[in-house]
Amino acid sequence: MRLFIALLLPEKIKEELAQNANDLSKYCSKGNFGRPENYHLTLKFLGETTEQQLPLLSQAIQEAAAGTTAFSLQLADWGTFPRGNQHIIWRALAKPYDELMLLFTKLETALYRAGWAKEQRPLKPHITLARQAVFTKPRGPIVIPQQALAFSAQQLALMESCRLDGQLTYIPLTVARLQNLQN
């Protein structure tokens, strides 16, 4: 099973991201643009994992979410990670995102206690819109309308990445709710 841990996104944010992806696709000769239902904010990529490890992972997610209050995040500008002549296109989060970093630290600690290695690279929070994108124009003149929408991070999930009917699909296996802001 190919697994990762992510924050789930509200529908209004997925709609904004889908519009961003559609606008950006007009500047690309090719690219693998993600489906809106797959949009998420990855906190930890686990890779190939056995089914026997699922209870430990679920427990770590619950532990990280416990005592964590839902917090606000805001979408920022889009950007790319170059891969030769191809790009991964993403939408960033506006700083500061201190609560996100605290949740990430709690998650890393819980996973470490469960036997997983700590991440060696710093977290660069982003939401992937496309992979293997090839721009028809340089990035400079590309302007797309985008809203700096704020949203509440409320659900941490263990996700499985698989192909269903030939389509990349992300399936939540365990979902832990962060505490309500009013509590």
For 65, left (φ over 0), alpha (ψ -120 to 50), or beta? alpha
Please, is 163 exposed, middle or buried when counting C-beta atoms within 10 Å of its C-beta (0-12, 13-18, 19+)?
Answer: exposed
Residue with the bigger pLDDT between 99 and 183: it is 99
Strand, coil or helix: what is 85? Answer: coil
- Does some domain include residue 121? yes
Of 46-50, 66-70, 141-145, 154-158, the poorest mean pLDDT is in 141-145
Instruction: Tell me whether residue 75 is in a domain.
Output: yes
The pLDDT score that the predictor gives to residue 181 is: 59
The parent domain of residue 72 ranges over 2-177
Q: What is the pLDDT of residues 154-179, one digit of tens each?
A: 999 999 999 999 899 999 999 999 98
Q: Quick count: other Cβ atoms within 10 Å of Cβ 120?
A: 5
With respect to residue 57, please indicate whether it lies within any of the assigned structural domains: yes
CATH assignment at residue 151:
3.90.1140.10
For residues 53-62, give the mean pLDDT: 97
* Average pLDDT estimate for 98-112: 97
Segment 74-78 mean pLDDT: 93
17 pLDDT higher than 60: yes
Q: Give the residue from 19, 23, 7, 22 showing the smallest Cα distance to 126.
A: 7
Work out the number of other CB atoms within 10 angstroms of the CB of residue 113. 12
pTM > 0.85: yes or no: yes
What average pLDDT does the chain have? Answer: 93
- Per-residue model confidence (pLDDT) at position 67: 86
Give the total number of structural domains in the chain.
Answer: 1
